[in-house]
Structure 1
């Protein structure tokens, strides 16, 4: 087991599945103590002496505040906050209701703000705090039907810069990761819903210069570095991790 995060404690929202699970696994492997904060319990196999579960509805400001306090009490402090939990749906502006918009912003943008606010007194305590926000390449561009999602992720990128500027003098760094297409159970459900899954998979691979889709552990690897002291001079940045997808210009297929 490596030890780049030895002695550090972390909150990872939505750390029990998908990208969040990849981050949790890598943090534990690197010696951190992790609190998975989300509404539903993660698989029991993820929980051990280094990984605990703290239940919280991230649409509730009261539950967010209580969860952060519970983590500090149970783990003895807080060094790292990973704002990973989020939702996504496919609706154009015409199809998106005001309630849809509010739900997206509550989970994807307001919850990271409230978590950061609750965590900040603990993160600044030792002058070495690190916040890692999970944004998206859709905060830089957009897929069809994602006005609310893209807006929320662009907001996360802007929020990241602002927090870095305000709290850098206190020893708190803040960075964002913008993942592209990452393999997960939700990805498989989406692909399986397509009429020609074989064609979809082939075209997805062709979009990526590295020749594969991402893995949650790929994001976890980057999150470890951003949370560790190895990235002590890095703050306010949005790091794209997408296998080169956003750098490849499309060409018509003849």
Structure 2
């Protein structure tokens, strides 16, 4: 086991599913203790002597405050906050209701604000702390039907910069990761739902110069670096991790 996060105490929201699993696994491998904060219990294989689960509905501000307090009481402090949990659905502006918009913003943008606010006094006490927000390449551009999702992730990127500016002098750094396509159970279900899923897989792969799709641990490894002292002079940044997808210009040929 490596030790870049040895003895560090972390909250990872949504740490028991999708990208969050990759972050949790890499944090544990690097010596951190992790509190997984989410609505549903994580898979048993994610839980260990270095991880524990705190149930919280991240759309509920009281749950958020209680969850952070429960983690701090159990750990005796807090060094790292990873705002990972989020939702996504495909609706154009005309298709979205006000309730749809509020739901997207509550989970993807308001919850990270409330979590950061609740964690800040505890992070400040450590003298050296890190916040890692999970944004998206869709905070920089957009896929069709994603106005709410793109807006929420662009908001996360701006929020990241603001936290870095306001709290850097207190020893609290804040950075964001903007993942592209990352393999998960949900992404597999999404592809399998397509009429010609094999063609979709081929075309998706061709979009990535590195010749493969992303894995949750790819994001996890970047999160480890951002949470560790190896990146002590890095704050307020958004790191795109997409296998080169957003740098590849499409050609108008078949």
Count of paired positions: 254
Aligned equivalents of 1:87, 1:126: Cα separation in 2: 31
| 1:44 positional shift | 1.2
Aligned equivalents of 2:76, 2:220: Cα separation in 1: 23
Q: Which runs of 4+ in 1 moved over 3 A?
A: none
Which residue of structure 2 aligns with residue 153 of structure 1?
153
| 1:226 positional shift | 0.1
Instruction: Could you tell me which runs of 5 or more consecutive residues in structure 2 were left unpaired when the two chains were aligned.
Output: none
Q: Deviations over 1:81-118 (max 9, x none)?
A: 00000000000000000000000000000000000000
| 1:126 positional shift | 1.9
| 1:252 positional shift | 1.9
Which residue of structure 2 aligns with residue 195 of structure 1?
195
SS at match of 1:54: strand
Taking structure 1 as the reference length, what is the TM-score of the superposition? 0.99
Which residue of structure 1 aligns with residue 85 of structure 2?
85
Q: Deviations over 1:128-181 (max 9, x none)?
A: 110000000000000000000000000000000000000000000000000000
Aligned equivalents of 1:112, 1:160: Cα separation in 2: 10
Aligned equivalents of 2:220, 2:155: Cα separation in 1: 22
Which residue of structure 2 aligns with residue 230 of structure 1?
230
Aligned equivalents of 2:31, 2:253: Cα separation in 1: 48
* 1:56 equivalent in alignment to 2:56: yes
Aligned equivalents of 2:40, 2:50: Cα separation in 1: 19
Which residue of structure 2 aligns with residue 27 of structure 1?
27
Aligned equivalents of 1:115, 1:78: Cα separation in 2: 12
Which residue of structure 1 aligns with residue 182 of structure 2?
182
Aligned equivalents of 1:198, 1:95: Cα separation in 2: 29
Aligned equivalents of 2:45, 2:219: Cα separation in 1: 21
Q: Are the counterparts in 1 of residues 160 and 236 from structure 2 also a CA contact under 8 Å?
A: yes
Aligned equivalents of 2:126, 2:46: Cα separation in 1: 29
SS at match of 1:37: strand
Which residue of structure 2 aligns with residue 97 of structure 1?
97
Which residue of structure 1 aligns with residue 164 of structure 2?
164
| 1:253 positional shift | 2.4
**RMSD of Structure 2 on Structure 1 (CA):** 0.5
Aligned equivalents of 2:66, 2:39: Cα separation in 1: 13
Instruction: Could you tell me which runs of 5 or more consecutive residues in structure 1 were left unpaired when the two chains were aligned.
Output: none
Greater CA drift, 120-129 or 165-174: 120-129
Taking structure 2 as the reference length, what is the TM-score of the superposition? 0.99
Superposed counterparts of 1:211-226, under 5 Å: 211-226=211-226
